């Protein structure tokens, strides 16, 4: 099969890779679309993966192509979204069904081969059927949509009728904004240094531009130190700051702002990934797919590029170099 294979930091090649074997108890998925995550750019060009060669890509959806004989509940042709974390099932976190906190996990696209490839083999417990009316390109964004929802659930009791300010108007920021509106926020604003991102936010019906003076909930959806500092400045008395973006560098916290966080009794919420595999509404994945089906989450406007796998190397380099305007980039193997 064809894949984007990372041989070393920055050494990404479009080439033939072995097909993953259909192991007992598993399902082979023909990848339809795999999104480029903000974390993929440093993973490919700066930090590398856990071993080489690796196929990156963890935000994906596709169609079931083959099912091992003992697997029940899935059949060829089923459209599926894939939870990309493989949990051990034995540690304390797994016992509490906090799979993303698993002490011994595996992960498509970083620890093991992912979906910048034509095929991936997945255990059925990591598959969710895509509801009718949700397209495969939208379903490929279930992971970031679930992460965005998870971030706001930490402050769910502070949203109804309140103000939310989001720092960073990339795909994840725009998803947080849509969830905030769906969860009852009275005002939602986004800020970002890139004007085109603000245009997109306005097209989706949000206030975008200069950050508001104060907000009940301030979300860093960028991971850049200036964005987190701006979020901390914006949180009003008794408000909350949500740390969602992956840190892009060290942060120096000015003592005056530090003091303000104390005086205003602002709470800081670290959030990580999403909840999956739960029976109730804590399951961010089911909720994300349901919200897409119901039209509460509009993800297609976030897609700026859909490129075939053969052009994947060029588009990933372009994203690294900031050559174009990028929002959600989907690779189509
Ligand atoms: Zn991601
Ligand atoms: Zn575990």
Identify whether 125 is part of a domain: yes
Measured in angstroms, how far is the CA atom of residue 273 from the centroid of ligand 1? 9
Summarised one tens digit per residue, pLDDT across range 1-16 is: 999 999 999 999 999 9
- Check whether 308 has a pLDDT greater than 90: yes
Alpha carbon 272 to its chain centroid, in Å, reads: 11
**Together in a domain, 22 and 131:** yes
**Together in a domain, 137 and 158:** no
**Together in a domain, 77 and 127:** yes
The answer to whether the Cα torsion of 220, 49, 88, 18 is positive or negative is: positive
Measured in angstroms, how far is the CA atom of residue 146 from the centroid of ligand 1? 10
Whole-Å CA distances, 253 to 78, 181, 191, 246, 267: 50, 30, 20, 17, 15
**Together in a domain, 134 and 229:** no
**Residue 229's domain spans which residues?**
148-270
Give me the phi and psi of 82, to 5 degrees please. -125, 125
Residue 162 pLDDT: 97
Identify whether 276 is part of a domain: no
**Together in a domain, 8 and 133:** yes
Identify whether 294 is part of a domain: no
Q: Which CATH number is 37's domain given?
A: 3.90.180.10
Whole-Å CA distances, 259 to 88, 230, 241, 254: 42, 15, 15, 9
Measured in angstroms, how far is the CA atom of residue 99 from the centroid of ligand 2? 6
**Together in a domain, 222 and 308:** no
Alpha carbon 288 to its chain centroid, in Å, reads: 11
**Together in a domain, 188 and 211:** yes
Ligand nearest the Cα of residue 143 is 1
Identify whether 283 is part of a domain: no
Q: Which two tokens stand for residue 217?
A: 């909930």
Ligand nearest the Cα of residue 172 is 1
- Ion ligand 1 — residues with CB under 5 Å? 37
Identify whether 279 is part of a domain: no
Q: Which CATH number is 203's domain given?
A: 3.40.50.720
Q: Which of 250, 270, 290 is the last residue of a domain?
A: 270
Identify whether 287 is part of a domain: no
Residue 211 pLDDT: 84
**Together in a domain, 18 and 103:** yes
**Together in a domain, 177 and 219:** yes
**Together in a domain, 165 and 121:** no
Measured in angstroms, how far is the CA atom of residue 250 from the centroid of ligand 1? 21
Summarised one tens digit per residue, pLDDT across range 127-139 is: 999 999 999 999 9
Measured in angstroms, how far is the CA atom of residue 264 from the centroid of ligand 1? 33
Q: Which of 231, 249, 270 is the last residue of a domain?
A: 270
Q: Which of 230, 255, 270 is the last residue of a domain?
A: 270
DSSP SS3 for 292: helix
Identify whether 156 is part of a domain: yes
Q: What is the average pLDDT score of the chain?
A: 97
Residue 147 pLDDT: 98
pLDDT-based confidence at residue 93 (cuts at 50, 70, 90): very high
Closest CA to 84 of 121, 32, 47: 121
**C-beta neighbour count of 271 within 10 angstroms:** 17
Identify whether 278 is part of a domain: no
Summarised one tens digit per residue, pLDDT across range 148-194 is: 999 999 999 999 999 999 999 999 999 999 999 999 999 999 999 99
Residue 285 pLDDT: 98
Ligand nearest the Cα of residue 41 is 1
pLDDT-based confidence at residue 247 (cuts at 50, 70, 90): very high
**Together in a domain, 264 and 203:** yes
Residue 210 pLDDT: 86
Summarised one tens digit per residue, pLDDT across range 188-234 is: 999 999 999 999 999 999 999 988 889 999 999 999 999 999 999 99
Closest CA to 231 of 151, 303, 327: 151
Measured in angstroms, how far is the CA atom of residue 21 from the centroid of ligand 1? 25
Q: Which residue has the tokens 């050494």?
A: 11
Please tell me the total count of domains within the chain: 2
Measured in angstroms, how far is the CA atom of residue 3 from the centroid of ligand 1? 19
**Together in a domain, 128 and 207:** no
Closest CA to 312 of 112, 20, 36: 36
Q: Do residues 111 and 50 lie in contact, with contact meaning Cβ atoms separated by under 8 Å?
A: yes
Q: Which residues contact 18 (CB under 8 A, 6 or more apart)?
A: 1
Summarised one tens digit per residue, pLDDT across range 50-71 is: 889 999 999 999 999 999 999 9
Between CA 225 and CA 296 the distance in angstroms is 31
């Amino acid at each position: 099969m064809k894949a984007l294979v990372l041989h070393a930091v920055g050494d990404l090649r479009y080439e033939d890779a072995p097909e993953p074997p259909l192991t007992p108890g598993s399902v082979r998925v023909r990848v339809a679309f795999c999104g480029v995550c903000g974390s993929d750019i440093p993973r490919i060009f700066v930090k590398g993966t856990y071993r080489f060669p690796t196929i990156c890509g963890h935000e994906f959806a596709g169609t079931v192509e083959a099912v091992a004989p003992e697997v029940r509940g899935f059949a060829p042709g089923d459209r599926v979204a894939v939870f990309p974390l493989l949990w051990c099932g034995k540690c304390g976190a797994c016992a509490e069904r906090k799979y993303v906190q698993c002490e011994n996990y595996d992960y498509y696209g970083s620890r093991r081969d992912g979906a910048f490839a034509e095929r991936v083999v997945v255990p059925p417990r990591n598959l969710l059927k895509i509801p009718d009316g949700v397209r495969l390109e939208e379903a490929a964004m279930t992971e970031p949509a679930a992460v965005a929802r998870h971030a706001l659930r930490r402050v769910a009791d502070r949203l109804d009728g309140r103000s939310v300010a989001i720092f960073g108007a990339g795909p994840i920021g725009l998803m947080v904004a849509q969830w905030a509106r769906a969860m009852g926020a009275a005002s939602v604003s986004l800020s970002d240094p890139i004007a085109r991102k603000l245009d997109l936010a306005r097209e989706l019906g949000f206030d975008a531009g200069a950050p508001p003076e104060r907000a009940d909930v301030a979300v860093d959806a960028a991971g850049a130190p200036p964005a987190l500092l701006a979020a901390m400045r914006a949180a009003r008395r008794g408000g909350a700051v949500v740390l969602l973006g992956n840190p892009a560098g060290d942060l120096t916290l000015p003592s005056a702002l530090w003091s303000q966080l104390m005086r205003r009794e602002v709470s800081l919420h670290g959030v990580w990934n999403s909840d999956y595999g739960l029976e109730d509404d804590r399951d961010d994945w089911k909720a994300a797919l349901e919200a897409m089906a119901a039209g509460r989450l509009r993800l297609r406007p976030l897609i700026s590029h859909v490129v075939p796998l053969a052009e994947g190397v060029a588009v990933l380099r372009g994203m690294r170099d900031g050559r174009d305007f990028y929002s959600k980039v989907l690779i189509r193997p």
